[in-house]
Amino acid sequence: MYHSRLPEIANPHRRAYARDLSDAEWEVIELLLPNDKGFGRPRTVDLREILNTIFYMQRTGCQWEMLPHDLPAHATAYNYFQKWQRQGNWSMFHDILRHQLRQEMD
């Protein structure tokens, strides 16, 4: 029986890439993401797709401008990447996920 390396995604709206977040991964990471500010313009992008775009770029090593057209705009994804980098969110994500994994392994 053939087992796909693509993640299991409920109701995909585009074809999955190998580094897309699975539903199970998204459930864990979604809780760590910053909430909408609650004022100003409401968020119009899907943060799961932003993360999928960042992970695609990281996995393939392509330039931001060379991302596939079915992913969010490269400028939008890059802005989130930079913002989360400045705010220390990437380090926080890593530390929390590492701690959770170590607890599960004990």
Q: What is the pLDDT of residue 60?
A: 93
Average pLDDT, integer, range 75-96: 94
Whole-structure pTM value: 0.82
Name 45's Cβ contacts closer than 8 Å, sequence gap at least 6. 72, 76, 80
- For the record, the structure tokens of 21 come out as 């977040």
Domain ranges of the chain: 23-30+46-105
Q: What is the pLDDT of residue 43?
A: 85
* pLDDT over 60 at 1, yes or no: no
